[in-house]
Amino acid sequence: MVLIPGLLCTPSVFDSVAPALSSETVRPSLLVSDDLTAIARDLLRVAPETFAVLGMSMGSYLVFEMFRLAPERISAMVLIGASARKDTDEAAEKRHKAVRWAQKVGMDALIATMPGAMLAKQSQQDEKIVTCLADMAEAVGLDAFAAHQAALARRPDSRATLPEITCPVLVLTGEEDQVTPAEIAQEIADNVAHGSALQIPGAAHLPVLEQPDPVARHVNHFLQTVGG
């Protein structure tokens, strides 16, 4: 299974999930590029010939792009904190504004905003989770943040792609996720050939950090069910 991280996350975001998975994993870093297709091509370059894939947040958008490039190579999908929709003009401008602000005030100020935006209330009080989030963002840096925000702002709408996805799809959403709420995840599950959607209690946008054990259980059950 190829595990694809999200914005301002390194492959270490999966450190608590990967060892508990029943499948061997590949955990690539994201290419620093403002071109989503280029990032997806780079991921396909390091992926096995056929593979199951788990993408979280930005990683889920990359899964859709990888599918458009090489649908025959993907045997199953797990999408976490996912949406098939493209950014509205307002949402895209919000991304650009966030980049300009971060470039002005610096990485520490950006990091300080992340727990409130990304984590469930109980997770915001967990020093280990908050520190992990900060360390990953620091490692990724502002240049990659700016490039990836530009790529996300220009990403295509994937709703037209959903009916073409015939492999099994599991969509997981944190119950407290305000970035990609449950109804957005359900839209994906309802419009692929073999989709299901589940919510993770005690998590917001980053269930792999906040609730890794339930995430691993759900993914393992899914892989067992689909023969992955």
Domain boundaries along the sequence of the chain: 2-87+153-226
pLDDT per position as a tens digit, 142-151 = 999 999 999 9
CA distance 97 to 105: 12
pLDDT per position as a tens digit, 68-83 = 999 999 999 999 999 9
pLDDT per position as a tens digit, 4-42 = 999 999 999 999 999 999 999 999 999 999 999 999 999
pLDDT, residue 226, reads 87
DSSP classification of residue 26: B
pLDDT higher than 70, residue 188: yes
Residue 71 has phi, psi (to 5 degrees) of: -60, -30
pLDDT higher than 80, residue 157: yes
Mean pLDDT (whole number) for 112-122: 96
CA distance 80 to 74: 17
pLDDT, residue 166, reads 97
pLDDT higher than 70, residue 228: no
- Kindly state the helix (H) or strand (E) to which residue 74 belongs, with its residue range: strand 74-80
What tokens appear for 5 in the block? Answer: 């991280």
pLDDT per position as a tens digit, 195-216 = 999 999 999 999 999 999 999 9
The CATH number given to 2-87+153-226 is 3.40.50.1820
Give one DSSP letter per residue of 147-187, joined into a string. Answer: HHHHHHHTPPP-TTTGGG--SEEEEEEETT-SSS-HHHHHH
pLDDT higher than 70, residue 175: yes
Mean pLDDT (whole number) for 126-135: 97
